[in-house]
Amino acid sequence: MCICINCHWVDRCQVYHSVEQQHGVAHLNATPDIKPKNPKIHISLIDLSDGGIGKEWDVRECESFQNDEGRWQRLRPGEALPT
Contact between 72 and 10 (Cβ < 8 Å): yes
Helical ranges in the chain per DSSP H: 14-23, 71-75
Residue 29 binds ligand SF4 (CB under 6 A): no
Residue 28 binds ligand SF4 (CB under 6 A): no
- b/e sequence 12-28, b meaning 16+ C-beta within 10 Å: bbebbbebbeebeeeeb
Residue 65 binds ligand SF4 (CB under 6 A): yes
Q: Site for ligand SF4 (CB under 6 A): which residue of 3, 23, 29, 57?
A: 3
* Part in contact with ligand SF4 (CB under 6 A); list of ranges 22-30, 44-52, 56-64, 74-82: 56-64
CB of 68 to ligand SF4, least distance (A): 9
CB of 23 to ligand SF4, least distance (A): 14
Please name the amino acid found at residue 36. P
